[in-house]
Structure 1
Amino acid sequence: MYITLTILVLSAIFFMNGKIRSDVVALCALVLLLVFQILTPEEALSGFSNSIVIMMVGLFVVGGAIFQTGLAKMISAKILRMAGKSELKLFILVMLVTAAIGAFVSNTGTVALMLPIVVSLALSANMNASRLLMPLAFASSMGGMMTLIGTPPNLVIQNTLTENGYAPLSFFSFTPVGIICVLTGIIVLIPLSKIFLSQKGQNNNNKTNRNKSLNELVKEYQLADNLFRIKVNPKSPVIGKNVVELDIRKKYGLNVLEVRRISQSQSRFLKSVNQKLATDTTLQSEDVIYVMGDFDRIHQIAQELDLYIIDSHTTEESGKNKENSLDFYDIGIAEILLMPNSRLINQSVKDAGFRDKYNLNVLGIRRKKEYILHDIKDEKIHSGDVLLVQGTWNDIARLSEDQSEWVVLGQPLTEAAKVTLDYKAPVAATIMVLMIAAMMFDFIPIAPVTAVMIAGLLMVLTGCFRNVESAYKTINWESIVLIAAMLPMSLALEKTGASKVISHSLVTGLGQYGPVILLAGVYFTTSLMTMFISNTATAVLLAPIAMQSAIGIGVSPYPFLFAVTVAASMCFASPFSTPPNALVMPAGQYTFMDYVKVGLPLQIIIGVIMIFTLPLIFPF
C-alpha cells in the first residue's frame, strides 16, 4: 500500500512540475507498479484496451474530419454571427452550447466535437483559442450533470442506489444540479480565464504565422483577377483530347491551371470533386477548365472550341454564389527561391523543365518588387527570382529534394493539411449526427464506443480526409497514453487497500459531527481522489462508502451519492482527472499549473455551493 501511495505522490509532483512530459510520467508510474509487482502485466496494460481510451482515439478522428471538411468553420461562423464582436458573448455562447451538448453526449465526445469548432471560431474572431479551450472542457463536464447519461459517474450512483433497493433516478433528476454548476462555472471562469489563459500560446502563434498562407499567395500574385473557368459543352471538339494536344498555351496565350471534374455519383453523400493537372488529362463533357489570361482570348477560345464561360459568381459544384477563387483540394501552390548557382539562371521558363520533370506549372515570377504574371513562358529566369509554382501537393513536396537549385518557401505539406475539403461537409455532418443519435438513444443497440469507431471509420472511407495518414495525424497520442497509463492506478489503489483506508477513515471520522459535515467530507474526499485517478474510478470506489456512511447515521443516501458524482465530475484542478481536461491540454498549450490556477478555485467554489444546495434539492 505504501509503495502505491509513494508512486502516486511522486507522479503528482512530476505532473505539477511540468518539466517531464505528462505521458512519460504516467508510463514511469505504470512501469513502477509492474516492477514492484503491485499489478500484473495484464492489469497494467488494461488501460490501453479500456473503452474510454478507444473512444478517445475514434473521437480524435471524428473531430479531425469535422475540421478537415470545413464543417467546424461553418458552425463556428454561425456562432460568431450570434456573438457579434463581443468576446464576452462568444465565451458565454461557447460554454452554453458545449454544456447543452454535454447533457446528451459523453463529455469526451462533446469536447472532441467542439474542439475543432472552437479553434476555428477563435481564429475567425481573432481571439486566443487558449482562453476558450479549458472552459470548453469544464463546460462539457458541467453539462454532463444535466442528465442521467451525461457522464459515467451518474450511472455509477444510479447503479449503487438500485443495488441497495432505493428508487432509481429519472433521466432529468440531475438537471437542477447541472444548471447550478453551469451558471457557477460561467461566472467564475469569465475573470479566471481572462487573467490566466489570455496569453497562452501567443508566441507559438506568431511563429506559425510567418509563412504565407495560400490565400495570401493568391492575393499577392493577383491570381483571382485573371482567373476564368470554361466548361466543356457536350458537343465540344475538345472532348477526348488533352491540353497538350490542343496547344492552348501557344495558340491562345493562356495558362491552363487545372481541370475540375465532379463525380457522376447520384448520391450527394458520396459526391466527390476531382482536381487534375491539365497536361495529361483527357477532357470530358462537363469538365471545368481553370485558365489564366486576357479575357478577350478566353472569349475567343470559348467561341472556337464550343466552350461555356462560367459566371464568376457560380461554383461548378453546387450552383451557389461564390467569387472566382482557387481551391486546393488535391492541387496546391508554393513559392520557390532560386539559388545564385542554380542551373536555371538565364534559362527561359519553358526550358526550365518544371512541367516535364516535376509536373508543375509556373504561374508567376516575383523579381524584387516586380510581379511578372503574363506571357512568362519566354521570360528568362534571374538569380534571386521567386517562382510561384502549381501542382499536386506531393509534386510540390518533391522540390525540397533538390536544395542545391532552389529553396521551397514555407511548408507546402503543412499548408495542404490546412485545406478544407468543404464539399465533404454534408458527409461529415451526417456521420456526426448519426454517431450522436447512437450514443443518445437506448433503443439503438450500439454501444457508444462502437458508434465512435464506426463514425471514425466512415469518415476515412467516405473521403473526409485527404488520406489515411491524415486521419492518423489527428490523434493526439500524448493524451491517449496519459489516460491509458493512469487508468490502472485506480486498480492498484483498490487492490492494495489504499483507497479504502484513505476514504473510509476520512468519511467515518466526520460522521459524528452531523450530516452536513459528513457530506462535506464525502464531497472533498471524492474531489481530492479525482485529482489523481479517473473520475469514473473514483465514483466506483466512493459510491458504496458514501451509501454506507449515510445509512450508518440514519439519513437519506441521495445527497451523499450526488456529492460523489458531482465531486467526481467537477474536478478541474488536474489535466488527467477527466478525459476532456486531457483532450484540450495540447491544443491549448496548457501546463499542469494552468489547471491548478484556473480549475482549483472553480472546483472549491462549486464544492462549497454544492454542500449547501444538495440538501435543499435532496433533503436528508
Structure 2
Amino acid sequence: MDMLWTLVILVIASALFVSGKVRSDLVAISALSLLLILGIIDTQEALSGFSNSVVIMMIGLFVVGGAIFQTGLAKIVSGKLLKLAGTNETILLLTVMLSASFIGAFVSNTGTVAVMLPIVVSLAATARVQQAKLLMPLAFASSLGGMLTLIGTPPNMVISETLEKAGYEPLKFFSFTPTGLICLVAGTILITLFSKWLLKDNELGGDKGREQRSLYELAKQYSLGNNLYRLQISEHSPMLNKTLKELSIAAEYNVHIHEVRRRQSNKNPFFKTINTEFAGPDTQVHVNDVIYVTGDYEHILRFSDVHKLTLLAEDAVEREGTDRLENLASSQIGIAEVLIPSNSKHINQLVKHSGFREKYRVNILGIQRKGKYLLHELKEEKIKAGDALLIQGEWKHISTLALEYEDVVVVGQPADVASNIPLSHKAPIAALIMVLMIIAMIINVVPAVVCVIVAAILMVVTGCLPNMESAYKTVNWESIVLIGAMIPMSTAIEKTGAAALISEGLVNSIGGYGPLALLAGIYFATSFMTLFISNTACAVLFSPIALAAALSMDVSPIPYLFAVAIGASLCFAVPFSTPPNALVMTAGKYKFMDYVKVGLPVQVLLGVVMVIALPLIFPL
C-alpha cells in the first residue's frame, strides 16, 4: 500500500510541476508532508534532505557565487569570454558550454554551475543576450563535462567500485574520456539546436527592464564622464592640513570636490586598501590622496597649477577594472536622482542656499530641466518645480534623503543599489578563494562540502561580501527547498520497493532480445529512474542489476555499467533531477515545461547515440 501511495503522490507532484500553476518549492514541501503524514517515511528521513551534503553545498556555493558577482569578478571574467566569443549568440552559447564542460570534468557539476552562473548572467547582460538562453545549456553542459573523468560525477565512482568488487580492474582517471568526448560532442550539438529552437524570447520569463537606471546609465545621461577629473595631492600642495571650508575652492575656482580616495595600510591584505570619503566642509586631504572634481577643463587646470596637484590621465586608475564613470560610485558613496515636487520648499532657492550639503550631506552634480542638462555654475542656479537633480553622497545619507517625501522624491531604491555596487578591490581575493576551492575539490583532501563551506566563510570574512545579511540574500531558497524536499521522495521510492520493481521488470522483460537490447534497456531504465531519484542512488541501484544481467548473458559488464553511469548522470528533462538544473531554474525564470521541451529530446537522443557508441568502444 505504501508503494501505491508513493507513486500517487509522485504522479500528482509531477502533474503540478508540469502545470506551473503552483510554486515548485510549495509542491515539493507538500509532497514531503504527505509522505510523512502517511507514515511512508519517518521524521528523520523526511528531514534528511535538508541535512544532505548536496543541499548544504548548494547553500555555500550560492554564497561563493554571490561574492564572485559582488566583487565584480564575474564581470571581469565575462568580459574576457566576451572578447573571445564576440556577441554572436551561438558562439557565446558554445563558449559557455565548453567552459562549463571543461570545469565540470574536474569539479562537481553543482560547483561548476555555481561558479559560472554569476559569470554567465553578467556575460548575457553585457552581450544583450537573454540569460535564459545560456543558463539551461550551462547546467546541461556541466553534466556532460562530468562524463570526461572518474571524479566528474558520483555515478562514475559507483560503477568503478562495483567492477572492483566483482574482481575487475578498477577504472582509471581517464577511462571515461572516450565515451565522455562522444557525450560532449553529441550533447553540445543537440543542446545548441534544441535550446535555440525551443527557448524562444516570447516564451521565457524575460529580463524585464528596470524602472531605475543603473549608475552608469545615470552618469552617462548627465555626461558626467566628460566633466569629471581626478587630481593627486603632492607633498608640496598648499591644500595639505587645511579643511575644504578654509580653502573656498568652489567660490574661487568654480571647481567642486566630490570625494577623496586614500590608500590605506597594506599590512593586512584581506581588508580594503582604498578608502573613499565624501568631501565635506571639514574634510582634509593628505599626500597622495586622489580627489574627484568636476568643472570646466580650464578651471581645473588653473586650480591644479595653483595648488600643485597632478592631473591624472584617464587611463590611470587606483586599481584594475575601474571605469571613468564608475569612479563616481563605490560601496560607501553613490549617486542618485531626485525630483523636486511642486510643493517643495526648495523651489526658487539658489543651489548654494538650498542646504543640500549642510542638511542632507550630499552634493548636487547636475540639474535636468525640460530635457536640458545643467552642469556648470550650478551654485547660482535657482531650483524649479519639476527639476531632476543628480546628487552624490554617502549611501546612508541618500537613503535618509529618500525619507523626505515633501521636499524631494528620490528615484529608485538607494539601499538596493548600494548593496549591488561591486567591491572591485576585492576581486583578486575572491578569485584566489575560488581557485583554492576548486583545487581542494580536485585533489580531494577534504570532502567537497567542506571546501565549499570554508570558501563561503572566507568570502564573508575577507569582505568579498559586506556582511552576513548580504550572504543570506545570495542564497536562492526556492531551489534549496525544492532539492531538500525532493530527496526524501527518492528515499520513499527506494524504501517501498517501487524502484527495484520498476528496474528489474524493465531489464528482465528485454533481456531475451539480445545483448544490445539489454544495453538499451539498462540505459533507458536508468535514465527514466533518475528523473525521480538522485543520480548516485540510481547508479547504486542499477549497477548490481546491470552486472548480474551481463554476466548471466556471458558478455562484458563494462559497457553495461558505463550505460548506468551515463544514464544516471545525463538527466535534463526535469528541474529537480540534478542540483545544476535547480540552480538555474529561478535565475533563468524557467517553467517546468521548458526543461521537458529542451531536456527530454536531448536526453532521449543522447541515449540513442550512447547505446550505439558504447559497444564500439567496449565490445559486448
Per the normalisation by structure 2, the TM-score is 0.94
Counterparts in 2 of 1:415 and 1:321: CA distance versus 1, 3 Å: closer
Over residues 358-409 of structure 1, what are the superposed CA-to-partner deviations in whole Å (9 max), with x where a residue is unaligned? Answer: 2211111111122222222232211111111111223222233232333222
1:193 aligns with 2:187: no
Deviations 1:206-245 (A, max 9, x none): 432x432212221222212221212222343433443234
State the shift of 1:513 in Å. 2.1
Question: What do the CA deviations read for 1:85-119 (whole angstroms, capped 9, x no partner)?
Answer: 43322222221111111101110111111112222
In the TM superposition, what are the counterparts of 1:433-444 in structure 2 within 5 Å?
433-442=435-444
SS class of match (2:327):
coil
Superposition pairs for residues 393-542 of structure 1, below 5 Å? 393-442=395-444, 445-542=445-542
- Paired residue for 2:307? 305
Q: How much does 1:268 deviate?
A: 5.6
- Structure 2 residue aligned with 1:239: 240
State how far apart, in whole Å, the 2-side matches of 1:258 and 1:201 are. 46
Q: Give the equivalent residue in structure 2 for 1:174.
A: 176
In the alignment, the residues of structure 2 paired with residue 321 and residue 418 of structure 1 have an alpha-carbon distance, to the nearest angstrom, of 16
Distance 1:64 1:96 in 2: 23
The equivalent residue for 1:586 is 586
Indicate the SS of the match to 1:184. Answer: helix
Cα 1:486–1:22 shift into 2, 3 Å: same
SS at 1:172's partner residue? coil
Q: How does 1:79-478 map to 2 (within 5 A)?
A: 79-199=81-201, 204-208=206-210, 210-265=211-266, 270-279=271-280, 280-317=282-319, 326-329=327-330, 330-442=332-444, 445-478=445-478
Q: Percent identity?
A: 54
Report the secondary structure of 1:145's partner residue. coil
Are the structure 2 counterparts of residues 172 and 576 from structure 1 closer, same or farther at C-alpha, using a change threshold of 3 Å?
same
612 and 56 in structure 1: CA distance in 2 versus 1, 3 angstrom threshold: same
Question: What is the aligned partner in structure 1 of residue 552 from structure 2?
Answer: 552
Q: CA deviation at 1:487?
A: 0.8
Deviation at 1:536, TM superposition (A): 1.9
SS of alignment partner, residue 483 of structure 1: helix
CA distance in 2, matches of 1:569, 1:603: 10
Distance in 1 (alpha carbons) for counterparts of 2:235 and 2:344: 46
CA contact (8 A) 1:11 1:29 kept: yes
| Paired amino acid for 2:162 | T
SS of the residue 1:316 aligns to = coil
Q: Provide Cα deviations, 1:20-60, integer angstroms capped at 9, x if missing partner.
A: 11111110011111111111211111111111111111111
Moved more, 130-139 or 225-234: 225-234
Aligned counterpart, 2:53 = 51
Q: Classify 1:71/1:617 alpha carbon distance in 2 versus 1 (closer, same or farther; 3 Å).
A: same
CA distance in 2, matches of 1:609, 1:322: 49
- For residues 494 and 205 of structure 1, do their structure 2 counterparts lie closer, same or farther at Cα, with a shift above 3 Å needed? closer
Q: Which residue of 2 aligns with 1:61?
A: 63
1 CA distance for matches of 2:613 and 2:49? 36
Q: Please tell me whether the aligned partners of residues 205 and 588 of structure 2 are also in contact (alpha carbons under 8 angstroms).
A: no
The SS at the match of 1:229 is: strand
Greater Cα shift, 267-276 or 417-426: 267-276
The one of 16, 19, 25 aligned to 1:14:
16
Q: Deviations over 1:408-431 (max 9, x none)?
A: 223333433443222222111111
Q: Distance in 2 between matches of 1:16 and 1:519?
A: 30
- Post-superposition CA distance 1:282-335 (Å, at most 9, x none): 4222211111113343333334434332233311336x9965762422211111
How many Å separate the matches in 2 of 1:545 and 1:325?
A: 60
Deviation at 1:350, TM superposition (A): 3.0
- Describe the superposition over 1:143-172 as per-residue Cα deviations: whole angstroms up to 9, x where unpaired: 000001101111222222223332210001
SS at match of 2:353: coil
Matches within 5 A, 1:27-46: 27-46=29-48
| CA apart distance, 1:79 | 2.0
Contact 1:231 1:288 in 2 (8 A): yes
* Corresponding residue for residue 618 of structure 1: 618
The Cα shift of 1:438 comes to 0.3
Cα-Cα RMSD: 2.1
- C-alpha contact (below 8 Å) 2:263/2:275 kept by paired residues: yes
Distance 1:204 1:86, change over 3 A: closer
Q: Is the 8 A contact 1:539 1:565 kept in 2?
A: yes
| 1:154-192 CA distance string (max 9 Å, x none) | 122222222333221000111111111111112212221
More displaced, 589-598 or 65-74?
65-74
Segment of structure 1 superposing worse, 143-152 or 326-335: 326-335
Preserved CA contact (<8 Å) 2:130 2:206: no
Verify the 8 A CA contact 1:227 1:325 in the aligned structure 2.
Answer: no
Q: Is the 8 A contact 1:63 1:112 kept in 2?
A: yes
Deviations 1:254-298 (A, max 9, x none): 211111112220566655322110114442222111111133433
The runs of at least 4 aligned residues of structure 1 exceeding 4 Å deviation read 200-203, 266-271, 320-325
Distance 2:335 2:567 in 1: 52
Instruction: Say if 1:200 and 1:589, in contact at 8 Å, map to a contact too.
Output: no
Counterparts of 2:13 and 2:455, CA distance in 1: 35
TM-score after normalising by structure 1: 0.94
Equivalent-residue separation in structure 2 for 1:322 and 1:390 (angstroms): 17
**Structure-2 separation of matches of 1:433 and 1:139:** 20
Structure 2 distance, partners of 1:281, 1:61, is 37
SS of the residue 2:128 aligns to: coil
Q: What is the letter of the counterpart of residue 159 of structure 2?
A: I
Q: Partner of 1:146: helix, strand, or coil?
A: coil
Question: More displaced, 63-72 or 46-55?
Answer: 63-72
Aligned residues: 616
User: CA separation in 1, counterparts of 2:158 and 2:304?
Assistant: 70
Change (3 A) 1:312 1:607: closer
Alpha-carbon spacing, 1:243–1:317, altered in 2? closer, same or farther (3 Å): farther
Quickly say closer, same or farther: Cα 1:240–1:35, change in 2 above 3 A: farther
Q: Is the 8 A contact 2:71 2:424 kept in 1?
A: yes
State the shift of 1:479 in Å: 0.7
Aligned residues of 1:314 and 1:321 also touching (Cα < 8 A)? no
- The answer to whether the 8 A contact 2:216-2:326 is kept is no
| Contact preservation (8 Å) 2:503, 2:525 | yes
Greater alpha carbon shift after TM alignment, 404-413 vs 596-605: 404-413
One-letter identity of the residue aligned with 1:259: V
Q: Which moved more, 1:609-618 or 1:136-145?
A: 609-618
> Which stretch of the first structure deviates more once superposed, 394-403 or 362-371?
394-403
Conserved 8 A contact 2:270-2:463: no
Give distance in 1, aligned partners of 2:202 and 2:618: 41
Q: CA-to-partner distance for each residue in 1:340-367, whole Å, 9 max, x for gaps?
A: 1122222222333322332211111111
* 8 Å contact kept, 1:366–1:387: yes
Alignment deviations for residues 543-571 of structure 1 (CA, whole Å, 9 cap, x no partner): 22222222333322221211111111111
Flag structure 1 segments of 5+ consecutive residues without an equivalent. Answer: none
- Of 138-147 and 150-159, more deviation after overlay is shown by 150-159
Q: Per-residue displacement from partner, 1:481-511 (whole Å, max 9, x unpaired)? A: 1111111111111222221122122222222
Q: Secondary structure at the match of 2:383?
A: coil
Q: Cα deviation per residue 1:525-558 (whole Å; 9 max; x = unaligned)? A: 1111111222222222222222222233332222
Q: How is 1:563-602 mapped onto 2 (pairs within 5 angstroms)? A: 563-602=563-602
Q: Distance in 1 between matches of 2:563 and 2:526?
A: 8
Q: Which amino acid aligns with 1:581?
A: N
Alpha-carbon distance change, 104 to 582 in structure 1, aligned in 2, over 3 angstroms: same
Q: Distance in 1 between matches of 2:427 and 2:150?
A: 31
Distance change (3 Å), C-alpha of 1:409 and 1:108: same
